[in-house]
Chains A and B, each alone.
Chain A
Amino acid sequence: MNMVNLKINNKSVTVPEGTSILHAAKETGITIPNLCYHPDQEVKANCRVCVVEVEGARTLQASCATAVSEGMVVRTNTKKVRDARKVVIELLLANHDMNCPSCSKNNHCGLQEIAANLGVRESRFENVLEEQEIDDSSPSIVRNQNKCIKCGRCIQMCNQVQGLAILDYIGRSDQAEVKPAFGWYLADVACVACGQCSVVCPVAAITEKEDIEEVWEAINDPSKTVIVQTAPAVRVSLGEEFGMDPGEIVTGKLVSSLRTLGFDKVFDTDFTADLTIIEEGHELLQRIKEGGTLPMLTSCSPGWINFIEQYYPELLPHLSTCKSPQQMFGALAKGYYAEKIGKNPEDIFSVSIMPCTAKKYEADRDEMSIDGENPDVDVVLTTRELAKMLRQAGVDFDKLEKEEYDAPFGLSTGAAVIFGATGGVMEAALRTVYEVVTGKTLEALDFKAVRGLEGIKEAEVDLDGTKVKVAVAHSLSNARKVMQLIKSGEAEYAFIEIMCCPGGCIGGGGQPFGGTDELRLKRIEAIYKADGDLPIRKSHENPAIKQLYDEFLEEPLGEKSHHLLHTHYKNRKHT
């Protein structure tokens, strides 16, 4: 690699050719403020906050977009630079809803942080914001045009990672806006509610729909038994909200924090992840044996379900009929647990903590109600919302003692926790399917071929002589490629795992802000560490699952399973 020598603020630095000034400055201990730049995205260079002085250049240069060159002389903190950055920030503030204290991103806002760092106390410009209606038509995400700074991060996420192009620039000049085509509501376009836009938004222009108050109300209602389930991915990311390193496993603190908030029972979605493996594994074997539709596609990611229903409804027969672990849990909570503790289902208030915004949509679906009236999962909170609740309650997360989940939905295996990472459902399924089919003990539990951030992964498994090909895809642009393979008859797989979000659920739209691959890899590492740390690592060896079948469900794919744990899908293609 060719190295380039340059000077930044009179400090010599040597960096590889092609490095941006922004990154080179970091090497010298200088963080250049920026808003539109995102490490995993194409350079946009439109916010103009990161400008620097480059000797010999006619104008200030955007440090995100300017590569270093030999002998370059850069200054990042001259009066000219400071003045320009300040004016740029003031211009943004002058067209921005400035109610910062009541903003859902207060203290988590890129614009606010830079304004504070640059010493901008007020905008010298007249506020020209033309207030617009807030689009809260989606059950999952809220779009607030009054906060948008037009940086385009959400557009790139939606277009390039998810391949959907729900959001784009419309209009020109000061009428330029980021919106769905024709300014339509999110609920009226083929948005999948994945919330990836909200993860990369530096301000509060796109956020999750907040449902915290409903949960407080239930907790304060003495007639309700409020139970909560926590998704696998939440335990490796919640710590970030409280200043811990990405990838720190906080399962025990998560449990105790929820008890502190007043939840009556704290359960684990991992339990129903194990259950999903039993049901889905048997469904796969049944399809293979009886000549059912193959390849079978996983069904636990609601953003992905929204995608296939709206974009590839002709492939719906490929979808596993299994509900997602969240909804299996919800159905069991109201259809099994209520009876077990002698309560009416409507007196159970079931909350889930999810890394996901699309889960809010999923819980809202008509078919996700076993009595046809009350939802099986009453409220879905994202990881970010849980952090907000904890802050509201003044919980010092770091100081909490570790606690254990409650029975009967508290015991789970390593196979369940890896649901949180791309490839995890596949790996968990293979651990079980292998042993069910061959009757032999699987010695090597790690299916490394399906792990990691590669977009589409393939593996072949030898089930005692029968070779089975499987594939794993994450993010919807990759899902689309796999769907095209199925349509063209080129997908010679028996089973395909698809996760809507990049990296799987650990990269979900409800996770702490940032959404970089660096962060995702750390969370993934933590997921596999959590798997390795558990005494049981195969779903079918979970004694609580065995007990559930003995006591209640009787057999996989049986009558009760069919009623509670399986579902159907709709053609929702936009015409």
Chain B
Amino acid sequence: MNELTYKLLTRNFNDCCPVNLDDYIESGGYSSLQKALAMDGTDIINEIKDSGLKGRGGAAFPTGLKMEAVKLAEGNPKYLICNADEGEPGNFKDRKLMENDPHQIIEGMIICAYATGIRFGYLFIRGEYAKSRKTMENALEEARSGGYLGDNILDTGFDFDIEIYTGAGSYVCGEEFALLVTIEGKSGRATYKPPFPTTMGLYDKPTQINNVETFCTIPHIIEMGGKGFSELGTESSKGTKLVCLSGNVKKPGLYEVPFGVSVRQIIFDIGGGVPNNRPIKMVQLGGASGPVIPENMLDVKLDFEDMKKQGLTFGSGAVIVMDERVDVLDILKRIVEFFHHESCGKCTPCREGLTQLLIILDRFIEGTASNQDLELMKILMDTMTQASICGLGQAAPTAVMKVLEFFPDEFESRINTLESAAV
């Protein structure tokens, strides 16, 4: 492939069919679990803390701290949830992880459950991912018959099992509280926090909830040791990251890279650049809820610190390339329409704000927008970002805000164009 990519989580990927239990064991699978089961739970958590692993779902919360909080939280039973409700446009890494190497996820979940003292696990799979579900069902069955799941795992006396829960395809159910209430049988709507799921999660019990990729990383940390793992990546960002490269790029697809590579390297050195070498207009990072950046910022590194310094985030790892042919406002309208469709409708800024944001965007597109519209749009987006109840409403205007920041002319040039044309 390329010296910039790295095979850790994707090392068993064969682009053909899921790795079955025998092949997984053959490649060293479940040996981390055996190693972990001989350890003390606190020691496992310490290894994970030492590894510097941060959550791969987008929020980048230190996984070891989360596990420690769940372990220390009062309440019984506790729950472990793998968030595989991958709904962020531009992302497909969780699907690939499930469909290529299902046991890697299961092993990671069992290790975490053992470390934090949890007996019940849920795997929440996005409704549209029928194939992922099937693959995971088979793998869970294999794991049970192999003695890795269920009662008395590998004769250690530890009991843990995983149940699959499928959503109905609602984007907001990837938000952890909306996800939790869905499992409880309620309609998927976000709620305020704190309290966080670590103390008051599923059925108001302490709950560890992590992304698929995060769980997949756990067996490797146990295998390499926390310190060994932390040598991969950069000072602020340890390990590898799955990147979902899409858009106007020659070789779109899923790539695993060590932290520290630049977005430019991902697009050009790994992805082969833009077809016909057309200039890049902008690149969206993370997915529909992420920031867009202009060509001259492509040297930003896949690194939590470097991104933060530049006011950026890379969410769960999507890189969407858009060349010079795109109509920026048209792209923004599609993005805002997506969030408008997916808003749960609970809180005012998101429910009403997205409707109004679309109306104002349309004025710019139609050429009827005024200077006041520009001001109103800014104050509206500030309110959505600041006052929405969950990440959906808070992040929904991100792309629009970044276009205003990096491509102000896209808006300013369209103020009152209809009128001036008429004159």
Contact = CB atoms under 8 A, between A and B. Distances in A.
Contact of A95 (B341, B346, B352, B386): B352
B354 A174 contact: yes
A94 B356 contact: yes
Interface in B35-55: none
A149 to B, nearest CB: 8
B-side interface size class: 35 or more
A92 B372 CA distance: 20
A487 to B, nearest CB: 25
A176 B345 contact: yes
A51 B383 CA distance: 10
A10 interface: no
Pick the most buried of A62, A169, A174, A175: most chain B CB atoms within 10 A of its CB.
A174
A464 interface: no
Interface stretch (B92-100, B214-222, B387-395): B387-395
Nearest to A128: B355
Contacts of B340: 173-174
B329 interface: no
B183 to A, nearest CB: 18
B387 A175 contact: no
A408 interface: no
B351 A176 contact: yes
A175 B340 CA distance: 10
B274 interface: no
Contacts of B356: 91, 94, 125-126, 128
Given A88-B349, A173-B351, A173-B354, A60 B341 contact: no
A88 B348 CA distance: 6
* Consensus secondary structure, chain B interface: helix
Interface stretch (B7-15, B205-213, B261-269, B374-382): B374-382
Contacts of A172: 170, 342-345
Pick the most buried of B170, B340, B351: most chain A CB atoms within 10 A of its CB.
B351
Interface in B373-417: 376, 379-380, 382-383, 385-389, 394
Interface in B165-190: 170, 187, 189
B87 to A, nearest CB: 14
A80 interface: yes
A46 B346 contact: yes
B277 interface: no
Contacts of B349: 48, 84, 87-88, 91
Interface string A37-63: 000000101111101000000011010
Contacts of B346: 46, 150, 169, 176
B348 A92 contact: yes
A179 to B, nearest CB: 13
A59 B355 contact: no
Interface residues of A, number: 35
A46 B389 contact: yes
Contacts of A92: 348, 352
B114 to A, nearest CB: 33
B351 A84 contact: no
Contact of A59 (B347, B353, B380, B387): B387
A128 B352 CA distance: 9
B130 interface: no
A124 B386 CA distance: 19
B352 A91 contact: yes
Nearest to B189: A169
B307 interface: no
Contact of B379 (A47, A87, A169): A87
A48 to B, nearest CB: 5
A84 B378 CA distance: 11
Pick the most buried of B351, B376, B387, B388: most chain A CB atoms within 10 A of its CB.
B387
B389 A173 contact: no
Contacts of B382: 80, 83-84, 87
Contacts of A176: 344-346, 351
B352 A60 contact: no
B191 interface: yes
A65 interface: yes
B25 to A, nearest CB: 44
A252 interface: no
B45 to A, nearest CB: 25
B78 to A, nearest CB: 23
B192 A94 contact: no
A37 B85 CA distance: 31
Nearest to A43: B192
Nearest to A96: B352
Contacts of A66: 192, 194
Interface string A156-199: 00000000000001011111100000000000000000000000
B359 interface: yes
B348 A83 contact: no
A65 B192 contact: yes
Contacts of B387: 48, 51, 59-60, 84, 87-88
Nearest to A57: B386
A94 B348 CA distance: 11
A49 B348 CA distance: 9
Nearest to B193: A65
A91 B354 CA distance: 10
Nearest to B342: A173
A83 B359 contact: no
Contacts of B353: 87, 91
A526 to B, nearest CB: 37
A173 B354 CA distance: 9
A150 B389 contact: no
Nearest to B347: A46
Contacts of B351: 150, 173-174, 176
B383 A84 contact: yes
Contact of B343 (A48, A60, A169, A174): A174
Contact of B191 (A45, A59, A173, A175): A45
A327 B382 CA distance: 57
A94 B352 contact: yes
Interface string A274-318: 000000000000000000000000000000000000000000000
A150 B344 CA distance: 12
A87 B380 CA distance: 7
A45 B192 contact: yes
Contacts of A91: 348-349, 352-353, 356
B181 to A, nearest CB: 12
B248 to A, nearest CB: 30
Contacts of A80: 382, 386
A485 B113 CA distance: 42
Given A88-B387, A174-B343, 6 more contacts: A45-B347, A48-B389, A62-B192, A87-B349, A172-B170, A176-B345
25 contacts: A45-B191, A45-B192, A45-B389, A46-B347, A48-B388, A49-B348, A59-B386, A62-B389, A66-B192, A87-B349, A87-B379, A87-B383, A92-B348, A94-B356, A95-B352, A126-B356, A128-B352, A169-B346, A172-B170, A172-B343, A172-B344, A173-B345, A173-B354, A174-B340, A174-B345
Interface of B: 170, 187, 189, 191-192, 194, 340-349, 351-356, 359, 372, 376, 379-380, 382-383, 385-389, 394
5 interchain residue pairs of minimum CB distance: A176-B345, A91-B352, A87-B383, A45-B192, A65-B192
